Amino acid sequence: MTFFDLLNSASNGLEAQRQRMEIISQNIANASTPGYKKQIPIFSQKSADPFSIVMARQLGVKEGDLLSFLSGNEVGRGIEVSQIVTDQSPGAKVYMPGHTKADKDGYVEMSNVDSLVEMVEMMYAVRNYKANLSIVEMAKSAAKETMNIGKPGG
């Protein structure tokens, strides 16, 4: 893994966690909105091609033959939010007969967002963001130290 691969991987992690925090913020903001359904980010490894396909191309082997027994992904690309899924579980039913979203019995389905769970998810996202930021800072520090090799006093 090169220096730039490291930075690219950490950058992808930062972007994915930023997106995660935005989705969580949206969920929290709509926690009391009747009928709102929680959004869930789905992460996947960011990779143009699986490792097996890259290897098959390099070896000149049919990709299908190699794919049958090899698996795995290219290293060093980080993660990404591959999709956002809507949680279809029902929210609590509250009796509000005058509400515009009330059913025939006068009940309104509230949001299925649990604010406490979302706050915990936000803490995880912030910690993951900080971990990726630490990688960037360490890489910058290592690059700076490398540039000082051979300098007097360096």
Domain range summary for the chain, segments of one domain joined by +: 3-31+39-86+114-148
Q: Which segments of the chain does DSSP mark as H helices, in order?
A: 3-29, 51-59, 63-67, 115-148
> Splitting the chain (154 residues) into consecutive groups of 10 residues, what average pLDDT does each group show?
74 93 98 96 76 60 55 60 95 94 95 96 96 90 84 71
- Predicted confidence at residue 121, as pLDDT, reads 96
CA angle 96, 89, 110 (to 5 degrees): 20
Q: pLDDT at position 71, please?
A: 45
* Pairwise CA distance, residues 18 & 13, whole Å: 8
pLDDT, position 94: 95
| Predicted local confidence at residue 57, as pLDDT | 66
41: enclosing H helix or E strand: strand 39-45
Q: Return the pLDDT at 92.
A: 95
Quick one: pLDDT at residue 146?
Answer: 84
Residue 72 is predicted with a pLDDT of 43
Identify the pLDDT of residue 15.
93
pLDDT value at position 60?
Answer: 66
How high is the pLDDT of residue 69?
A: 42
